[in-house]
Every structure is written in C-alpha cells, then in structure tokens.
Amino acid sequence: MEHHPMRAEALRTLRLDDTPLMLSIDGQAREGESRFEVIDPATAQPFATAPEASLAQLDEAVAAARRAQPAWAARPWAERRQKLLALADLLLQDLESLAWLITLEQGKPLPRARDEVARAAAQLQRLVALDVPVETLREDAQGRVELHHRPLGVVGAITPWNMPLVLCVPKIVHALLTGNTIVVKPSPYTPLSALRFAQRAQALLPAGTLNMVSGGNDLGRALAEHPDIQKISFTGSAATGRKVMASSAGTLKRLTLELGGNDAAIVLPDADPEAIAQPLFNAAFANSGQICMAIKRLYVHERLHGAVCEALAQRAKAVAVGGGFEPGVVLGPVQNAAQHRIVLGILDDARERGARFHAGGQALDREGYFIAPTVVSGLADDSRLVAEEPFGPVLPVLSFTDVDEAVQRANASPYGLTGSVWGRDVPAAARVAARLEVGTASVNQHLWLDAQIPFGGAKQSGLGSEYAAQGLKHYMQAHVVNAPA
C-alpha cells in the first residue's frame, strides 16, 4: 500500500535517522547502551529506533534525581509552578512535531494526536493552579496542631502506550510541583514523543529534576525495585500493576496504580437510543477502544436493546478507519501486534459462543494492526469479551430486564475504574450511578477527565488517585506538627 504523503513529510521533517532521540539524564542528552526498533502500527514496520538504557544508566538517572531533589524542594511552590508552566508553553510550541511522533508510534489519527498534545498542556496548566496548604487541625488552649505535606524524594513513573504524552506529562507535574524529582520510563512501544518532550525540557529545568530512560520490562522492574526511589506511579494493565506492586514491596514504596477498567455503562428503559448512540459510540471506540476508562460493556434494557445495537452498528460500519495521516480518518489501528492478537482471540471466542456480530468482527485486509469496529450481542457474562478488558475497537451490548440486575452485573467485575448510566430522568439515573462500584460514575456522559477532580479506580482498577489536591497529596508525606501553647 502506498503511504500518505503526510507520513513521508513527517518522517522527513523529524529527521529521526539523522537526529535520533536520546535519553535525558542529569540534564544531558545521552545515548543508550543500544537501540531498539519502534514500530508504526499502521504499517507493522519499524520507522525509527529508541535508546535502550542500561541498568547502570538507570542508576545514574536515579542518583541525579536524588542529588537535585533537596534544592528543587527548597524552591517555593510558586517558583516551581512557574517552571512547570513553561513546560506547557513548550508542549504548545512543539505541538506539530510531537503530534507527528504520536501518530507514527501510537497510530491515532493526526487530529487526535494534536488534541493529545494540547490536552497534556491544558492538564498541566490546571494542575499547577492547585495548592496544598498547611492545614490547622486543632488550635486551642493546649496548643496548635498543623498538618503539613512534604515531598517524598524521588518518584519513578512508568507510562503506557495508549496515550504517550497525556498519561506521562501529568505524572511529571504531580512529582515536580510537590517538590519531588522524577525518573520516567515510557512504554517501549511509544517512547519517542516522551523522549522528545523530556529532551527539550532540560533547558527549562534544573539538571536532574526530570530524567527520562527508555527500555523494556527489565528496566521497569529495576525502576520499581530501586532502593533510592520513594514512590512509583504506574498506568497500565492490572497484570503489570501487580508485578510493579510486587517489585516495590521490598522497600515499601508509596504507590499510585491506575490499572485496567472493563468499564460498564447502563442504558435505562427511558433513554432515547438515537440521542445517546453517538456519545455511546464515541465513549466506547475513541482511540480504537484503547482507553482505560472507555466503555467496555454496555448493558441495555431489553426494550431498547435492538435499537441501540442497530444505531451503534450503523456508526461502526460508517466510521473511517485507516492510517493516522490519511485524510478523514477517525479510528486508527490497534497499537501493537501482541494486543492485536489478544483482540482477535477474544473475537474468536465470541464467535465460538454463537455471538451475533452486528458490525465488524474481523481484522481489516490491509497492512498494519487494523480491526474493524465491532458491535456484538448475544454473549453471556462469562464470555471473554465481557469478563476481560479487550482494549480494542470491540463492544459487547448486553440485554437486561431489571435495573437491579443490571447494577449487579455491572458490579460483578473485579475492576471498577469508571462507569456511567444513561436515561432521560437524570435524578433517577444519578441514583443508579451512585450504586456503581467505581472510582468515577457519570450520568449521560462517560469519557471525561478534569485535572482539578480526583481520578482513581476501585477494586482491582488501582490504588490511590491522581489529579486535584488529593492526587498531589499522594506524592507527598503527611507530616503533623504539634506545638504547645
């Protein structure tokens, strides 16, 4: 297949062969011990290489962060805020190049990649507007008790491949705003945009404050085990999250884990199928279903089930799927070969169970890791597609007769990241939403995030939270000062 000219222009402008991206350690651009290939999921072919950091280089990055941390923590909060605001300007100034990199390495359409860079900058700006003031817990004749929050030290961050910048930049901001320094390891599937951002950020931050090392699973495990790191912030699958937790146990590190979702949405019998079809479709299929908080299970009252299936199927058949540089494309590929195989295996299981495919159900006949947007019904709750998080462009639509039954089935999952309820009677829908065992429950909306609202999962969807003052405090140590009168 002939690739779109915009892809060639992006590669030519970025000049990745001539100016390969580097590690960032102690304020310096450093070559790795070796380099590994980065695959374009739209072609299934390598288009660039990334530096593979050695364990010795990880030690150097942690040592640099440790040296830089006391002086960085000593700066006033307002000064740290201003330094970080300059990073938002950097993101916006470099938006086009970063977006090209995201489309090349992650696969999402270029307009969505531009949105990701802009959203990372916006989240940064909203996060740094927050403060964590000293709290007076008691003041009386006996004395004054204050609650302070102090930096932990060095934070290690491990970021995923579905949103290479928008899930990386906030971790950096949480750590640095609160007076910590940080060592980041981006996903080896999508390291380039994060490496570029960190490399350019070195001119704006003190040496050692932000370090970026790329590599594989061994590097991630070493980061989680490192004795000089006080906290790990990880976003990714629950299976990998358990490994991170186990690796961190030796030094009892603080943890923030944002893990899988398998999020449920419930459509009540008073909902208008045509009015909600597009928002439901967007919430399930955005980024080709590769969003932890996307709708993964849709429970629809039996009266509306057929109409909702048909409305979603129409949209699945009509949506433009293709390479991220092709004009008019809305959905891109699954990001990597391993995930592509997982999604196709889940579809095979659904087919064997006699599921009805209203749209899609197969890989597209083209190079790259493309799967047709798929709407499925007729599955039991113990099928793989319902019980597991597919993390691809696939949505099971399940029928229910009673709202209590729907809530029970939605809550039966070991996961509980977000959930939503859809209906015309908003107060009634809100009462149902309040019963969902999730970190965030919404009414007539699903995919939303605000950096000034805390976000975290229930059950096996994670530990702790990020965003808002509550999230910032997870990067700090509570410190009580009790002084007599």
Check which CATH number belongs to the domain holding 189 and give it.
Answer: 3.40.605.10
Q: Assess if residue 456 is contained within a domain.
A: no
Q: Please give the pLDDT value at position 2.
A: 57
* Interacting residues of 203 by C-beta distance below 8 A, sequence separation 6+: none
Indicate whether 253 and 282 sit together in one domain.
no
Active-site amino acid positions: 258, 292
Indicate whether 229 and 316 sit together in one domain.
no
Structure tokens at 66: 């440790």
106: enclosing H helix or E strand: helix 95-106
Q: Please give the pLDDT value at position 4.
A: 86
Asked whether the beta carbons of 166 and 467 are under 8 A apart, the reply is: no
Asked whether the beta carbons of 465 and 474 are under 8 A apart, the reply is: yes
| CATH number of 321's domain | 3.40.309.10
Q: Assess if residue 15 is contained within a domain.
A: yes
Q: Assess if residue 58 is contained within a domain.
A: yes
Q: Assess if residue 327 is contained within a domain.
A: yes
Three-state SS for 160? coil
Q: Assess if residue 406 is contained within a domain.
A: yes
Q: Assess if residue 374 is contained within a domain.
A: yes
Indicate whether 429 and 468 sit together in one domain.
no
Indicate whether 56 and 204 sit together in one domain.
yes
Which residues of the chain are under the pLDDT cut of 70? Answer: 1-2
Q: Please give the pLDDT value at position 3.
A: 80
358: nearest Cα among 338, 378, 385? 378
pTM above 0.85, yes or no: yes
Q: Assess if residue 240 is contained within a domain.
A: yes
Indicate whether 251 and 335 sit together in one domain.
no
Number of structural domains found in the chain? 2
Q: Assess if residue 13 is contained within a domain.
A: yes
* Interacting residues of 11 by C-beta distance below 8 A, sequence separation 6+: 47, 104
Angle at 420 between CA 406 and CA 106, to 5 degrees: 120
* Interacting residues of 315 by C-beta distance below 8 A, sequence separation 6+: 277, 278, 281, 373
* Interacting residues of 46 by C-beta distance below 8 A, sequence separation 6+: 37, 38, 39, 40
Indicate whether 147 and 291 sit together in one domain.
no
Indicate whether 320 and 352 sit together in one domain.
yes
* Interacting residues of 82 by C-beta distance below 8 A, sequence separation 6+: none
Indicate whether 92 and 63 sit together in one domain.
yes
Q: How far apart are CA 61 and CA 478, in angstroms?
A: 27
Indicate whether 151 and 271 sit together in one domain.
no
* Interacting residues of 121 by C-beta distance below 8 A, sequence separation 6+: 88, 89, 91, 92, 169
Indicate whether 100 and 197 sit together in one domain.
yes
Q: Please give the pLDDT value at position 72.
A: 98
Q: Please give the pLDDT value at position 485.
A: 87
Indicate whether 195 and 297 sit together in one domain.
no
Range of the domain at 236: 5-259+461-481
Indicate whether 280 and 404 sit together in one domain.
yes
